[in-house]
Structure 1
Amino acid sequence: MGNPVVDDAKSKMVARIDALKRDLTKIRTGRASIALLDGIRVDAYGSKMPLNQVAALTVPESRMIVVQPWDPQMLPMIEKAILASDIGLTPSSDGKVIRLPIPQLTEERRKDLVKQVKKIAEEFKVGVRGDRHKANDVFKKQKADKEISEDDMTRYQDEVQKLTDDFIKQIDAIAAGKEKEVMEV
């Protein structure tokens, strides 16, 4: 069994990787993905509900998302919620379903999205480094309180540094994959 402080730092870093993957799914790549609609909430039956709880979401082709409300009277509220969101898609409705065509991304827009991916990745790297810093502070305090020896403190700090390096490499790899996806025409 490892050190609880090291284990805690590792679990925080794992959570950051999961959050990074979630955040990056919301970046449009020119391909239809239901994940683009995550976070859209619809005024339904007196409360704000996630879009996927008031409609069936499908991707019939690579550049189209279809939203089919369970209740046809929800159509205007769903359209309003999509327009109010920041996903930049314009819904078109035929009275039964809403179609969201995914436009081809321009080269300029792709470059902007790559910058956005890099910025998000950097924020997560800063978070991982913050986790390392907090763990190291705990080790220093434990050493000052004579709970651990100098050797133990150094060993634990090395362990946390290795974790930090591994997680930063993972963040870079995930970001590079997303950048490649965004730049694909």
Structure 2
Amino acid sequence: MVDKKIYKETEDKMKKVLDNLKSDLAAIRAGRASTALLDKISVDYYGVPTPVNQLATISVPEPRMILIQPWDVKTITSIEKAILKSDLGLTPTSDGKVIRLVLPELTMERRKELVKMAKKKAEDAKVVVRNIRRDTNELIKKMEKNGEISQDDSKRWQEEIQKLTDNYIEQIDKALTNKEKEIMEV
């Protein structure tokens, strides 16, 4: 078994990559409203970039509508601007007290674009996981070269890291498959 500390650090890094991917995928809309769509949107609040969910109550009163109720009504225009600048492709409507985001029905073309976006995010996550594996293997080889571990241990550790990498690549693929199904549901 790989030195527990090295293995744990590698696993923690890979887990963070998977968690980031899952939050990125949650932000891709799949036809129905979700407060997670606004997680990546920041608003300039008195010169400080602040997430929308820290400036307002966000709810989903209907399957295809998000309601944003700012605590400070002066932030409404800033929130609207941030939503318009984002890659959500939504136009906010406001009555001066609340902002409504109505999600239009997704066309098949838009669904395919969203799937492509999800695939790109998943591929990026796989690249990061593989880079983590490479860095850990370089560390193991360096330890072998310095005589800290034997050649057999080095080979065994690298195999353990490969198994860990395969596991996380599989989880990334599973997360992508689930998101594709969610997006393509008509």
For the criterion TM > 0.5, the same-fold answer is yes
1:13-58 per-residue CA deviation (whole Å, 9 max, x = no partner) reads: 1111111111111111111011111122223344332211221110
Q: TM-score, normalised by structure 2?
A: 0.93
**Alpha-carbon separation, structure 2, partners of 1:123 and 1:11:** 18
**Alpha-carbon separation, structure 1, partners of 2:120 and 2:82:** 27
How many percent of aligned residue pairs carry the same amino acid?
A: 56
Pairing 1:134-145 to 2, within 5 Å after superposition: 134-145=135-146
Which residue matches 1:53? 54
**Shift of the alpha carbon at 1:156?**
0.4
The farther-off stretch of 71-80 and 22-31 is 71-80
- AA of the residue aligned to 1:51: V
Which residue matches 1:116? 117
- AA of the residue aligned to 1:86: D
1:13 equivalent to 2:2? Answer no
> What is the root-mean-square deviation in Å for CA atoms of aligned residues?
1.4
**Alpha-carbon separation, structure 1, partners of 2:120 and 2:81:** 30
The farther-off stretch of 43-52 and 67-76 is 43-52
**Alpha-carbon separation, structure 2, partners of 1:41 and 1:109:** 24
Which consecutive aligned stretches of 4+ in structure 1 deviate over 4 angstroms post-superposition?
none
Unaligned runs of 5+ in 1: none
CA contact 2:43–2:49 (8 Å) conserved in 1: yes
CA contact 2:2–2:157 (8 Å) conserved in 1: no
**Alpha-carbon separation, structure 2, partners of 1:85 and 1:123:** 20
**Alpha-carbon separation, structure 1, partners of 2:154 and 2:75:** 59
Q: Residue 28 of structure 2 aligns to a residue in which SS?
A: coil
Which residue matches 1:29? 30
1:153-180 per-residue CA deviation (whole Å, 9 max, x = no partner) reads: 0110110011011111100000000010
Which residue matches 1:103? 104
**Shift of the alpha carbon at 1:71?**
2.0
**Shift of the alpha carbon at 1:126?**
1.2
